[in-house]
């Protein structure tokens, strides 16, 4: 089943898909920072 792009919520479409999407966020994504570790391990939390 295919979902039309316009039906996908904006937040879902804008969500970073990879680490390169965090450009300019060195204070959050630099080596040794918690968010980089969480992102690389693909930990999901709410």
pLDDT tens digits along 12-39: 888 888 777 777 777 877 888 877 788 7
CA 5 to centroid of chain Cα atoms = 18
Q: CB neighbours of 13 closer than 8 A, spacing ≥ 6?
A: 5
Local confidence band at 2 (pLDDT 50, 70, 90 cut-offs): low
Report the candidate in 19, 25, 24, 20 with the shortest Cα–Cα distance to residue 42: 19
Q: What tokens were used for 11?
A: 């937040």
pLDDT the model gives residue 14: 86
Q: What tokens were used for 38?
A: 């969480």
pTM greater than the 0.75 cutoff: no
Q: Is pLDDT at 1 greater than 70 in this prediction?
A: no
Q: What tokens were used for 19?
A: 């680490």
Measured over the CA atoms of residue 22, residue 28, residue 30 and residue 35, the dihedral's sign is: negative
């Amino acid at each position: 089943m295919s979902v039309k792009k316009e039906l996908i919520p904006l937040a879902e479409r804008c969500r970073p898909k990879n680490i390169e999407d965090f450009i300019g966020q060195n204070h959050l994504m630099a080596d040794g920072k918690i968010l980089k570790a969480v992102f690389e391990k693909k930990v999901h939390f709410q």
